[in-house]
Structure 1
């Protein structure tokens, strides 16, 4: 049976690049998106490349919805890799933001990652291996006032990755993030397929070379 990689936040950008990388490496893919019907073309391209993938719909801001989707994938096999690739793309300076909007963004950008991680950690611990990887961003390091909520979210996600990594340090479950330090675009150093390769490289790192964060500055 192929190892399972669950990608929360599949789309036509980084999500597709990550899916290609892990699919070509022999993984069965479990893809989660709010509206899977939007990505039938992307799914077809994976299938044409001989990559096995199935979809579940979920609202990442809803704990039960996200947990249920991840649980469905784990009913048939245990997950080896979880990737959380979600961001609420709300722009605006801090004082222009509504408080409830920021709370909702934080649920999507950070809390959803924790919910997803908690849904797979028990199985990963029982099988004594697994990788939990988050999509980080440069705004965690260099906050931008025009993207205040995203900057807050990426900083929170980075802190979550580091604290989870500390908690699980004495296990064979590793937690890390790939922080994309530039604008994602095809046929550039930040091509989604190149980013997908970085995620796969993080998963394959030997334990004595583990790093909690990779700053992806282009390839």
Structure 2
């Protein structure tokens, strides 16, 4: 039986890579997507050393064209994407009046619009096989907005809404959409250790019941 394929957009040493490792250790092939090829190569080497079949494809979450090219390459080389995890966000502080319409839109491109764009790259194939999973990394700011992180709060609230509306639309096509709302600061060795959070992505994938897990 062929291994299933997971793509993690927003690979990195925190949540992204730990989600990739969780699925990889459960017989998934893993594709890591982020901007820096050198870092991606390092992550792939680390996972390969753990017996995980991993690949690296660079792309910029701020650029839909870059993401489109990455997904075309992945589908051409590796086939249908069974699970998409979108883990990218602009983690920058700033009160509402520090923003301009242009800067807010640049945040929302990465935080929300590119999440939808990536989903649209995988939905046709998933719908054709009547099976698939799309998971978004949410944040506690969606529930409790922070004045000091206004743009991120707006973005996470919008991403949460996207999750629930997309989940409702995709359910008849066999596609499960969910989000892990991380209501705390990710830190190794704490309750918010990335490997503990990664378990919740696997829980959503396996159970396919609730569309949100609030990790607090």
The aligned runs of 1:35-46 (5 Å cut-off) are: 35-46=36-47
Equivalent pair of 2:33/2:40 in contact (CA under 8 Å): no
| C-alpha distance in structure 2 between counterparts of 1:143 and 1:32, whole Å | 28
The aligned runs of 1:27-176 (5 Å cut-off) are: 27-75=28-76, 76-176=78-178
| C-alpha distance in structure 2 between counterparts of 1:164 and 1:34, whole Å | 26
Gaps in structure 2 of 5+ consecutive residues? none
State the Cα deviation string for residues 35-57 of structure 1 (Å, max 9, x = none). 13124433222111001111111
Instruction: Tell me the TM-score normalized by structure 2.
Output: 0.96
Match of 1:214 in 2: 213
Match of 2:21 in 1: 20
SS of 1:42's equivalent in the other structure is: helix
SS of 2:82's equivalent in the other structure is: strand
The number of equivalent residue pairs is 214
Equivalent pair of 2:32/2:40 in contact (CA under 8 Å): no
Instruction: Tell me the TM-score normalized by structure 1.
Output: 0.94
Name the stretch that deviates more: 13-22 or 68-77. Answer: 68-77
| C-alpha distance in structure 2 between counterparts of 1:101 and 1:188, whole Å | 33
Name the stretch that deviates more: 36-45 or 8-17. Answer: 36-45
| C-alpha distance in structure 1 between counterparts of 2:80 and 2:17, whole Å | 22
| C-alpha distance in structure 1 between counterparts of 2:173 and 2:137, whole Å | 22
Once the 2 structures are TM-superposed, how far is the Cα of residue 18 of structure 1 from its aligned partner? Answer: 0.5
Gaps in structure 1 of 5+ consecutive residues? none
Once the 2 structures are TM-superposed, how far is the Cα of residue 152 of structure 1 from its aligned partner? Answer: 0.5
| C-alpha distance in structure 2 between counterparts of 1:78 and 1:117, whole Å | 13
State the Cα deviation string for residues 46-97 of structure 1 (Å, max 9, x = none). 1110011111111112212101111211123211100000110120100012
Which structure would you say has the larger RCO, counting Cα contacts within 8 Å and 6 or more residues apart?
Answer: 1
| C-alpha distance in structure 1 between counterparts of 2:13 and 2:44, whole Å | 10
Does 2:182 correspond to 1:180?
A: yes
| C-alpha distance in structure 2 between counterparts of 1:46 and 1:77, whole Å | 21
State the Cα deviation string for residues 107-162 of structure 1 (Å, max 9, x = none). 00000000000000000011110100000000000000000000011001001111
Equivalent pair of 2:139/2:156 in contact (CA under 8 Å): yes
